[in-house]
A and B are shown apart, each in its own frame.
Chain A
């Protein structure tokens, strides 16, 4: 076992809580029953590390095995950094018949053609997601296993989720992905967040959306014994209406947990009475608005349902779930003051 894999294993054990480490080792399924019993999870971390290092030495396990362990842990605990969504574009005719073995071979082949030293590990998770771990090197240095990039992709869908990718590595990954999934292009999907499940659910439409139906609403009937039932009813109706519109815009039940939404406004100042501002015409007027919350979509739904935000919900806010993105640049399309319907653009 070389020094690098030793360091990676040490860091891995240090970062995973003892109980989680136990489950991860169980799932890894490489330790014998005796070896598993020899690891005492109540001991301090350095003792556990020592025991595991000894087992690794004994079995002559290498970096490959340490990264396996790391992947299992990351797949179970993916929320450890920012995840960014990308969208594949213009599929070729054979894109829909790409299957796992072919994808694996192609991806590894294309990436190693682009980068001399790269270590790629691909694993299919139970939920049909393909997980890719990439340790990058370059022409002179060996793959750096301490800073791997993780990529999650569901074959036959246009979305790819990526974490820990530098701008230098981005074009390389993009090209390998485009070629191995048989597409013609890839673009930034303008959606990011700390929870992988949230951005996945939003783009894959795996949350409960509300559509108008002919069946009566799900709101429970209010108790109508209060002084004036007519006023009550009218208010309840208004409330129900607001609630319905809020749910139609954002969804029902548990919503994907996004932490923020950013709106970048780029426009020109348009008040003719204000000379100093209008004279700097060529310079755009810039402004950034950022909403943040532990669960942004639920906060926005609550605002609309309780009447704090007006209903029907402004397209600026409903675009988050509708378009599946949380970064918008709003530009001025130069139609004068009447152009208040500026749609969020790229």
Chain B
């Protein structure tokens, strides 16, 4: 019996609620419009900013090209007369110069210069030495060098068989850091090269047995086999000069005492002294001296 009137009350309340909600939503819509307007304004501002940036960038580019051209023509006289010497144009000029120097630094790094950056605590610098062999980038080594109170290597990841301290002493690191870095780089690159050569021999020239090698890759003993007679030849390569990828001494041992003195093996000896070991082996194989 109570059903009908109570339903009436509930539906009435429902109706009131809907009304109240629609009234509330009106100001909400209003705020939404404001929000969108603000967003549009912000976007417009961003657009203008980007436009300005493009403009600056274009100016910068123009200035860069004129600067580059000026440099290549070796014209020393500055051309400050084109625009009034306002603060803006000076800043622009500095920025152009900055990009120019940065490009130079990148180029320097690409052709084998060192990557030097200031360390986070600002006490020193961190130098990266990249190694490469036959156009392949290999390991990169780093040195953190403290500048004060005196030049000192504080941290590095150079393996212990590279005599870092001896090299520093030998090249007077404190007075001539460039010489030191050059010497170290030569050692590291030669080591990376020898290591890479050994890797190629092990992986690609399976008929050659590597009998002996060391961590510094400064001693290499290989076992060659002469075709037909099947004589084994023990070949010792001694890389006494650690700044080079080529051996200073090549020595053959064989059951056949005469073999090392034969003209073709004398030729092999000089071949191994003058060409990287993996290439020399390929040539020797082609000539049919070894299997």
List A residues at the B interface (Cβ < 8 Å).
Answer: 96-97, 99-100, 124, 128, 154-159, 203-206, 209, 211-214, 244-245, 248, 312, 322
A212 touching B160 in the complex, CB below 8 Å, given contacts A99-B214, A154-B215: no
Residue on B nearest A87 in the bound complex, by CB: B160
Q: Which residues of A sit under 8 angstroms from B157, Cβ to Cβ?
A: 205, 209, 211
Q: Which residues of A sit under 8 angstroms from B155, Cβ to Cβ?
A: 209, 211, 322
Pair A211/B213 contact, Cβ less than 8 Å? no
Q: Which residues of A sit under 8 angstroms from B118, Cβ to Cβ?
A: 212
Q: Smallest Cβ distance from A244 to chain B, in angstroms?
A: 7
Q: Which of A97, A128, A212 is the one whose CB lies under 8 Å from B215?
A: A128
List B residues at the A interface (Cβ < 8 Å).
Answer: 115, 117-121, 126, 128, 142, 144, 154-161, 212-216, 218-219, 238, 240, 242
- Of the A-B pairs whose beta carbons lie under 8 Å apart in the complex, a sample of 16, sorted by A's number, is A97-B238, A100-B214, A155-B214, A156-B161, A157-B215, A158-B160, A204-B159, A204-B160, A205-B160, A206-B159, A211-B157, A212-B120, A212-B144, A213-B115, A244-B120, A322-B155
Q: Smallest Cβ distance from A303 to chain B, in angstroms?
A: 19
Pair B240/A209 contact, Cβ less than 8 Å? no
Give the number of residue pairs across the A-B interface with Cβ within 8 Å. 68
Q: Which residues of B sit under 8 angstroms from A97, Cβ to Cβ?
A: 218-219, 238, 240
Q: Which of A100, A158, A206, A248 is the one whose CB lies under 8 Å from B212?
A: A100
Pair A156/B218 contact, Cβ less than 8 Å? yes
Pair B120/A245 contact, Cβ less than 8 Å? yes
A205 touching B218 in the complex, CB below 8 Å, given contacts A212-B126, A244-B120: no
Q: Which residues of B sit under 8 angstroms from A159, Cβ to Cβ?
A: 160
Residue on B nearest A128 in the bound complex, by CB: B215
Residue on B nearest A100 in the bound complex, by CB: B212
Q: Which residues of A sit under 8 angstroms from B160, Cβ to Cβ?
A: 157-159, 203-205
Closest 7 interchain pairs by CB? A211-B142, A209-B157, A156-B216, A156-B161, A157-B161, A128-B215, A212-B126
> In the complex, A213 Cα to B116 Cα: how many Å?
9
> In the complex, A333 Cα to B161 Cα: how many Å?
33
Q: Which residues of A sit under 8 angstroms from B219, Cβ to Cβ?
A: 97, 99
> In the complex, A214 Cα to B128 Cα: how many Å?
11
Q: Which residues of A sit under 8 angstroms from B115, Cβ to Cβ?
A: 213-214
Q: Smallest Cβ distance from A143 to chain B, in angstroms?
A: 28
A211 touching B120 in the complex, CB below 8 Å, given contacts A99-B214, A322-B155: no
Additional 20 contacts, C-beta under 8 A, given A97-B240, A99-B212, A157-B159:
A96-B216, A96-B242, A97-B218, A99-B214, A99-B219, A100-B214, A154-B161, A154-B215, A155-B215, A156-B218, A204-B159, A205-B159, A205-B160, A209-B142, A209-B157, A211-B126, A211-B128, A212-B119, A212-B144, A248-B120
Residue on A nearest B121 in the bound complex, by CB: A312
Q: Smallest Cβ distance from B128 to chain A, in angstroms?
A: 7
A212 touching B117 in the complex, CB below 8 Å, given contacts A97-B219, A100-B212, A155-B214: yes
Residue on A nearest B219 in the bound complex, by CB: A99
